[in-house]
């Protein structure tokens, strides 16, 4: 056990660690002179996540409409919301020393995640009852436990934004947008993982740069057929995984959504497909045409 005294002052610093700049017709970018590698990783991940959203939104959204709002911006973490012209905001948390994406699976222990999932089911069931939702949550416990990946960490709270489960029934009845669920850090701080205690400023070791995420979501880099690529992965939801594959030389962005099962993902692209085996830290893959393997490759997490 450890004391939560000091968490809030540690997170709530007056001076921002990263600065945000936005030129005309370009994405906002975070800057820091002494953290060039971290800002490159952060900016690349955010831009690929935004690209997926912009392509899906079509002509209704542009780069110029994309804005960032930071909730925590210090030398340990960058917590922010991203908002386009349409659709809900997206929320991200990064390790400020490495620029690596942080998921709830990194922040909390196994017992902590189990506690949060139980509370999400209880709270969302109560919300449905209080607001008299036309679509009831019965039988949706598994979905509600998975619907925790969209979250924002503030100076005093963990806020989860549900986006799935019991939204529309077979008769076309639709629930209103699910309400966010806020956990005061004082109520979940005891469930932090080693990673969580370090980024929250409770523990000093291991150093931020030595921390390694255990989750699949993040930014990966490598080569496919000698062309440099970046792969941006969202956090999985149930058996679905979304992301964007970016080919640096050609400038081609390929948003995708596929079935993610037993750490495997298939990405189809016209007559070819990529078959990926995804594990925390690295991805091994094959480029295929039909059953023929055209090439093998490895992507490493940044």
Q: Domain boundary at 104, 136, 151, which?
A: 104
114 and 183 together in one domain = yes
Mind listing the pLDDT tens digit for each residue in 172-211? Answer: 666 666 678 999 999 999 999 999 999 999 999 999 999 9
The answer to whether residue 224 sits within a structural domain is yes
Instruction: Identify which of 250, 243, 252, 240 has the alpha carbon closest to the alpha carbon of residue 299.
Output: 243
* Domain CATH for 43: 3.30.565
The answer to whether residue 202 sits within a structural domain is no
pTM for this predicted structure: 0.89
- Residues paired with 259 in a beta bridge: 240
99 and 133 together in one domain = no
Q: Domain count for the chain, please give it.
A: 3
The answer to whether residue 246 sits within a structural domain is yes
Up-side HSE of residue 125: CA atoms within 13 Å toward CB? 14
Mind listing the pLDDT tens digit for each residue in 154-165? Answer: 999 999 998 887
Domain limits for position 168: 109-191
Evaluate the CA torsion angle 106, 111, 114, 118 in order and state its sign.
negative
The answer to whether residue 248 sits within a structural domain is yes
173 and 223 together in one domain = no
Q: Domain boundary at 104, 131, 149, which?
A: 104
The answer to whether residue 228 sits within a structural domain is yes
26 and 66 together in one domain = yes
Instruction: Identify which of 72, 68, 77 has the alpha carbon closest to the alpha carbon of residue 97.
Output: 77
34 and 100 together in one domain = yes
The answer to whether residue 206 sits within a structural domain is no
Q: Give Cα separations from 128 to 21, 151, 176, 238 (angstroms).
A: 41, 20, 10, 22
The pLDDT, as a whole number, for residue 50 is 85
The pLDDT, as a whole number, for residue 1 is 46
- The tens place of each residue's pLDDT in the chain, 302 residues long, gives 444 544 554 555 568 999 998 776 677 899 999 999 999 999 999 999 888 777 665 544 456 577 889 999 999 999 999 987 677 889 999 999 999 999 999 999 999 999 999 999 898 888 878 877 776 777 788 888 999 999 999 999 999 998 887 666 556 666 666 678 999 999 999 999 999 999 999 999 999 999 988 899 999 999 999 999 999 999 998 889 999 999 999 988 888 888 999 999 988 877 788 899 998 889 999 989 888 999 999 999 99
Q: Domain boundary at 191, 208, 233, which?
A: 191
């Amino acid at each position: 056990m450890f004391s939560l005294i000091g968490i809030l002052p540690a997170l709530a610093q007056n001076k921002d660690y990263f600065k945000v700049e936005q030129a005309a017709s370009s994405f906002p970018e975070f800057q820091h002179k002494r953290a060039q590698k971290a800002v490159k990783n952060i900016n690349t991940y955010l831009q690929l996540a935004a690209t997926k959203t912009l392509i899906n939104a079509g002509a209704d959204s542009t780069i110029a409409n994309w804005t960032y709002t930071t909730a925590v911006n210090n030398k340990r973490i960058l917590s922010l919301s991203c908002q386009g012209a349409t659709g809900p905001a997206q929320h991200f948390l990064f390790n400020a020393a490495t620029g690596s994406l942080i998921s709830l699976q990194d922040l909390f222990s196994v017992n902590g995640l189990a506690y949060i999932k139980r509370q999400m089911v209880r709270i969302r069931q109560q919300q449905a009852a209080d607001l008299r939702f036309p679509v009831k949550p019965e039988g949706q416990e598994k979905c509600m436990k998975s619907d925790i990946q969209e979250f924002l960490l503030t100076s005093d709270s963990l806020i989860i934004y549900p986006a799935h489960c019991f939204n529309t029934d077979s008769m076309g009845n639709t629930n209103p947008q699910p309400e966010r669920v806020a956990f005061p850090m004082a109520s979940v701080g005891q469930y932090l993982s080693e990673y969580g205690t370090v980024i929250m400023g409770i523990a000093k070791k291991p150093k931020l740069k030595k921390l390694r995420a255990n989750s699949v979501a993040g930014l990966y880099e490598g080569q496919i057929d000698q062309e440099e690529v970046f792969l941006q992965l969202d956090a999985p939801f149930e058996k679905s995984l979304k992301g964007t594959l970016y080919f640096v030389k050609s400038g081609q962005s390929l948003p995708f959504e596929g079935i993610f099962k037993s750490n495997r993902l298939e990405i189809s692209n016209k007559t070819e497909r990529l078959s990926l085996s995804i594990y925390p830290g690295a991805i091994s893959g094959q480029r295929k045409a039909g059953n023929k393997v055209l090439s093998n490759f490895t992507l490493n997490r940044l």
